[in-house]
Chains A and B, each alone.
Chain A
């Protein structure tokens, strides 16, 4: 039996409108970005979250690590309730949950060199580690994600999109997290590079027994990488299940529509 590392119960995320003034009898207007979503994530597994623009994929991911507040619901991390945690306690949890962002270049500070970028999580979370140890760890991590360690003093603009995403992955991995949340990690990359990054993530997952939450709008990629799939539509769970079952036998009409919209590169199937 695998360990359950994260379970999310009936989580809701609301965004309030910018309206400044309300009469006492008026309720504040809000948007339900995530509405009553629950799921479990086990060690070494991948959960794919798919859906269209504005369906709440990213809000859900951000709510899990408490980057944005949740309106109601419970987030259980290794059996502990995260929603009750304050900032200092959350800091410790964030060592174990890391994130990879969509735009590889924009998520790297242009004024820091690669070594500094990858070492930054280590320096914030473990300020007492000696510099030479940090450097060794950074170099080791760079090798792991397929970057040459002698590039350590280069700056982000000197790298291609695929390499920048590898840097982002290295930065997420350096704290040896248990869970990585990937928010559309390959959608900004060239098609010939996407497969490289996906294979890298899969290999690392096997080596380090990582769990992944993989957010994407590309269903073919979700099918390939995820064990379980969660389909979101306007913040609500539409369908959830094992990847194989869901793709071979979609139950909900929205899932069916999504799957049938994906073009297949086979000219005779017109």
Chain B
């Protein structure tokens, strides 16, 4: 059984400039102890997709479709019921560790707050649990450090605290929204290592949002590539990376220089990231795609299953026509 199932999710935003279709017909599923990466550029709808899972969408948004957690529909649940799922079942780590901690509160209070609010624990029990979690994320001297303020920690340490907070109520799913974007490479490597350890120890499922293909290859079992709010490609990471079947995935993999290779000229994806107010009629990637055919700019490609039902792609052009 799938732990989390998202079917035909659509998220629209009413803005003064017009209707923005941030997420358009996205389906995905996540099993127990599995990790899924959502890859995409800014404006691809990846953050709004996970916000809808936790019911954090802005007021001007309407979400349709279905999101099921353990066969229970959780899309558009009222806040009261959603609060029982948040943190207890699904928790989230936000992008910027500098701004997601409250600078006025000690780490202890910020951590205990979660346990007191969601599990009704006493302050004393909560502190015990908080210290245990800080130790789980490998913060040494947790007993004393828990009394510190966020500014006394470095960026990497703050992200560790955030991870500890998200682990407090033993959630089944942790959603990490670009957890390492603002960190140095060496710290990034440590944090990703920590994620892998935690997954082994606590048997949690992960949804990792990123634009760094390197991290995905290293940590996630499945990969979903989003562009302009639509699924471009979805499948096992090994398949998506080694046998990409969508021009955008191919482009993404080629455009980022790799440290183990040498290049004369970098390959580029021409054009600019999509303007969500003004998406092409057909495939959102069509105006940047080098394999574009006539259908592309008019007809939305349907999502096809290939590779023994393991991989999904949305493209009019057959994979064999890409010269790799």
B238-258 with Cβ < 8 A to chain A: 238, 241-242, 251-253, 255-258
**Does A52 contact B257, Cβ atoms closer than 8 Å?**
no
Interchain pairs with CB closer than 8 A, number = 113
Cβ of B155 within 8 Å of any chain A Cβ, yes or no, is yes
Report the bound CA distance from A258 to B188 in whole Å.
11
Residue of A nearest to B237 (CB): A267
Identify the stretch in A16-24, A32-40, A194-202 within 8 Å (CB) of chain B at 4 or more residues.
Answer: A194-202
B256-274 with Cβ < 8 A to chain A: 256-260, 262-263, 265-270, 272-273
Cβ of A26 within 8 Å of any chain B Cβ, yes or no, is no
Which residue in A160, A190, A196, A259 is a CB contact (below 8 Å) of B259? A259
**Does A267 contact B257, Cβ atoms closer than 8 Å?**
no
Which residue in A192, A219, A257, A266 is a CB contact (below 8 Å) of B273? A192
Report the bound CA distance from A247 to B268 in whole Å.
24
Residue of A nearest to B214 (CB): A263
**Does B214 contact A261, Cβ atoms closer than 8 Å?**
no
A68-98 with Cβ < 8 A to chain B: none
**Does A263 contact B212, Cβ atoms closer than 8 Å?**
yes
Cβ of A220 within 8 Å of any chain B Cβ, yes or no, is yes
Report the bound CA distance from A198 to B253 in whole Å.
16
Cβ of A27 within 8 Å of any chain B Cβ, yes or no, is no
**Does B255 contact A220, Cβ atoms closer than 8 Å?**
no
**Does A52 contact B218, Cβ atoms closer than 8 Å?**
no
Residue of B nearest to A203 (CB): B265
Which residue in B218, B252, B268 is a CB contact (below 8 Å) of A196? B268
Report the bound CA distance from A53 to B185 in whole Å.
10
* B282–chain A nearest beta-carbon distance, Å: 19
Q: Which residues of B contact A235 (CB under 8 A)?
A: none
**Does B272 contact A195, Cβ atoms closer than 8 Å?**
no
B204-236 with Cβ < 8 A to chain A: 211-218
Chain B, 264-301, contact with A by CB distance < 8 Å: what is the 0/1 string? Answer: 01111110110000000000000000000000000000
Q: Which residues of A contact B187 (CB under 8 A)?
A: 52
Report the bound CA distance from A206 to B114 in whole Å.
57
Cβ of A191 within 8 Å of any chain B Cβ, yes or no, is yes
Residue of A nearest to B267 (CB): A195
Cβ of B42 within 8 Å of any chain A Cβ, yes or no, is yes
Which residue in A198, A220, A247, A263 is a CB contact (below 8 Å) of B215? A263
What are 11 A-B interface contacts by the 8 Å CB criterion?
Answer: A162-B272, A163-B272, A194-B256, A195-B257, A196-B268, A202-B265, A219-B259, A221-B257, A224-B263, A265-B213, A268-B242
A residues adjacent to B (C-beta < 8 A): 52-53, 160, 162-163, 190-196, 198-199, 202, 217-221, 223-224, 244, 247, 257-270
